[in-house]
């Protein structure tokens, strides 16, 4: 009989859940303000509320890595660093040792950290416990996203929340290079071009939204390590490629004005009012630029116009080139976006040649337009 009882006790011991399984369940609800909020299941262990960290750090845009032992987790963001070790009651926060109240643990391949430490580490506030719903709530959590790019031994870093651009030299000395004037929304890409005149043109493209219809462009002209000109523009839905060079000069487009910058000196040679020439309160694309004419397209209406630089006049090209069918489409369509789909393919003398890249038809015609003398 005693042997049977002992066997039962052993069997029960084998099926008792581990400490994480046995922990009581609760909820958590964290808010990042305009970035949104996230809620999920928390675990209460020895009176301490623990939260799974993966989705939380994604919202705060924190990078996460493990050491070779798989026990120490490191978290890094812009001017933010913290680390914990599984089973340890202490951790590191911004270079200082802190008490965690409870030891981190792994449950179902997810790292759980004490909720109040997480809120503290991510700059949150107003931590409260809703006894009715068994929910730990916190707001004002912060984002710590940064974007890095290395070019010719210099590291360029954009702080996502502030939009400030920093540069770090080979000795590790960091300085502020420019203020972009707005936060970075999501996916930021960099490109760098060195001009024949020795200027450095840094271009940044922030693609954001769902399904990524938002585009924010930044252009900075750098001379002797300092920004001498910069511009930014936002486009929504429709996105075209702006020309950035013409006749050895740089084109700096902020959507409303176009600055023509002399290569080498960086001097502004001319400023063109795009809104006045385009006739619409909108942000504009520059799709072609030459000494006598350029092509201008408003983001919202999407109509391509030819601008005569000397006369300051504009020509709506689809009205000059299309038949009634395609004219009607250019005027009334709204899918995938409004406007025409004219694309310049080449210039020969005074002749401009275009294709109609309409997405719902196969227009094989090559259209030509003669520039007035």
CB 25 within 8 A of CB 43: yes
Percentage above 90 pLDDT, the chain: 90
Measure the CA–CA gap between 309 and 285, rounded to whole angstroms.
16
pLDDT band at residue 12 using 50, 70 and 90 as cut-offs: very low
Q: Is the pLDDT of residue 185 over 90?
A: yes
SS (H, E, C) 120-188: HHCCCEEEEEECCCCEEEEECCCCCCEEEEEECCEEEEEECCCCEEEEECCCCCEEEEEECCCCCCCEE
Across 93-104, average pLDDT: 97
Q: Is the pLDDT of residue 372 over 90?
A: no
pLDDT band at residue 22 using 50, 70 and 90 as cut-offs: low
Output the average pLDDT for the chain: 93
Measure the CA–CA gap between 213 and 239, rounded to whole angstroms.
8
**What CATH class is the domain 20-139?**
alpha beta
What's the chain's length in residues? 373
Start-end ranges of CATH 3.30.457.10 in the chain? 20-139
Question: Which pLDDT score is estimated for 289?
Answer: 99
pLDDT band at residue 315 using 50, 70 and 90 as cut-offs: very high
Q: What is the pLDDT of residues 245-297, one digit of tens each?
A: 999 999 999 999 999 999 999 999 999 999 999 999 999 999 999 999 999 99
Q: Is the pLDDT of residue 6 over 80?
A: no
B/e letters for 193-208, b = 16+ CB within 10 Å, e = fewer, are eebeeebbbbebebbe
Measure the CA–CA gap between 132 and 135, rounded to whole angstroms.
8
Question: Which pLDDT score is estimated for 135?
Answer: 98
Measure the CA–CA gap between 298 and 308, rounded to whole angstroms.
17
Residue 263, token pair as written in the block: 């290569």
Ranges of H-type helices in the chain: 2-15, 19-22, 54-59, 115-121, 274-278, 317-321, 324-332
Q: Is the pLDDT of residue 13 over 50?
A: no
For CA atoms 107, 111, 115, 116, the dihedral sign is positive
Measure the CA–CA gap between 319 and 327, rounded to whole angstroms.
7
Query: In the chain, what is the straight-line distance between the N-terminal and C-terminal CA atoms, in Å?
Result: 112
Closest CA to 243 of 195, 279, 290: 290
Number of C-beta neighbours around residue 90 at 10 A: 11
For the entire predicted model, the pTM comes to 0.84
Residues 6+ apart with CB under 8 A from 327: 318, 319
Q: What is the pLDDT of residues 117-159, one digit of tens each?
A: 999 999 999 999 999 999 999 999 999 999 999 999 999 999 9
Percentage above 70 pLDDT, the chain: 94
Question: Which pLDDT score is estimated for 151?
Answer: 96
Across 233-245, average pLDDT: 97
Question: Which pLDDT score is estimated for 21?
Answer: 53
């Amino acid at each position: 009989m005693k042997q049977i009882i002992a066997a039962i006790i052993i069997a029960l011991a084998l099926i008792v859940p581990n400490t994480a399984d046995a922990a009581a369940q609760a909820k958590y609800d964290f808010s990042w303000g305009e970035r949104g909020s996230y809620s999920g299941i928390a675990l209460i262990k020895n009176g301490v509320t623990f939260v799974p960290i993966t989705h939380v750090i994604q919202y705060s845009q924190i990078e996460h890595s493990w050491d070779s032992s798989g026990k120490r987790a490191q978290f890094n963001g812009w001017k933010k660093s913290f680390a914990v070790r599984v089973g340890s009651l202490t951790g590191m926060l911004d270079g200082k040792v802190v008490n965690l109240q409870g030891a981190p643990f792994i449950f179902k391949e997810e790292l759980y950290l004490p909720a109040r430490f997480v809120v503290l580490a991510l700059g949150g506030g107003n931590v409260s416990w809703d006894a009715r719903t068994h929910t730990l709530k916190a707001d004002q959590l912060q984002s710590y996203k940064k974007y890095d790019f290395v070019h010719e031994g210099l590291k360029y870093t954009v702080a996502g929340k502030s939009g400030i651009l920093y540069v770090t030299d080979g000795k590790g000395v960091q300085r502020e290079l420019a203020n972009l004037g707005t936060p970075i929304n999501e996916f930021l890409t960099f490109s760098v071009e060195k001009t024949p005149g020795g200027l450095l043109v840094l271009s940044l493209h922030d693609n954001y939204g769902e399904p990524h219809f938002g585009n924010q462009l930044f252009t900075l002209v750098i001379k002797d390590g300092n920004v001498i000109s910069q511009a930014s523009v936002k486009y929504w839905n429709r996105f075209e490629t702006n020309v950035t060079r013409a006749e050895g000069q740089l084109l700096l487009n902020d959507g409303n004005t176009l600055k023509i910058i002399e290569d080498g000196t960086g001097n502004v040679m001319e400023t063109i009012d795009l809104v006045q020439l385009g006739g619409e309160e909108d942000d504009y694309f520059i799709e072609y630029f030459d000494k006598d004419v350029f092509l201008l397209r408003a983001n919202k209406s999407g109509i391509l116009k030819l601008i005569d630089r000397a006369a300051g006049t504009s020509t709506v090209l689809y009205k000059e080139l299309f038949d009634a069918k395609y004219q009607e489409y250019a005027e009334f369509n709204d899918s995938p976006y409004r406007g025409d789909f004219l694309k310049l393919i080449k210039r020969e003398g005074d002749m401009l040649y275009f294709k109609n890249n309409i997405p719902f038809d196969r227009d094989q015609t090559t259209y030509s337009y003669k520039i007035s003398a």
